Amino acid sequence: MATKLDKSIKRELEHQGKLYTITLAPDGVKVVEKGKRNGKELSWASIISGDATLNEDLKISVDASRPGM
């Protein structure tokens, strides 16, 4: 049986030589580079509905269509 997520859980992650703090909370997920205040935040609604994936795909498409890339 899984434990209910009713409060924030923080974990540290090392990715490509940088440290990040990952916060899992009842309202979503937040990723912040260690020592910084602002980071990326996604709500559970956007993750579950697929909006997060759609936004990332759109960004990749726009970046690919820029000249010189």
- Is the residue at 34 inside a domain? yes
Is the confidence at residue 43, as pLDDT, over 60?
A: yes
State the residue range of the domain holding 51: 9-65
- Is the residue at 53 inside a domain? yes
- Is the residue at 24 inside a domain? yes
Q: How far is CA 3 from CA 10, 23, 65, 66, in A?
A: 15, 16, 44, 45
- Is the residue at 49 inside a domain? yes
- Is the residue at 2 inside a domain? no
Average pLDDT of the chain, as a whole number:
88
- Helical H segments across 1-69, by residue range: 44-49, 51-65
- Is the residue at 1 inside a domain? no
- Is the residue at 4 inside a domain? no
Is the confidence at residue 69, as pLDDT, over 70?
A: no
| pLDDT for the residue numbered 5 | 95
45, two tokens: 């609604």
| pLDDT for the residue numbered 66 | 76
Count of structural domains within the chain: 1
Is the confidence at residue 26, as pLDDT, over 90?
A: yes
- Is the residue at 32 inside a domain? yes
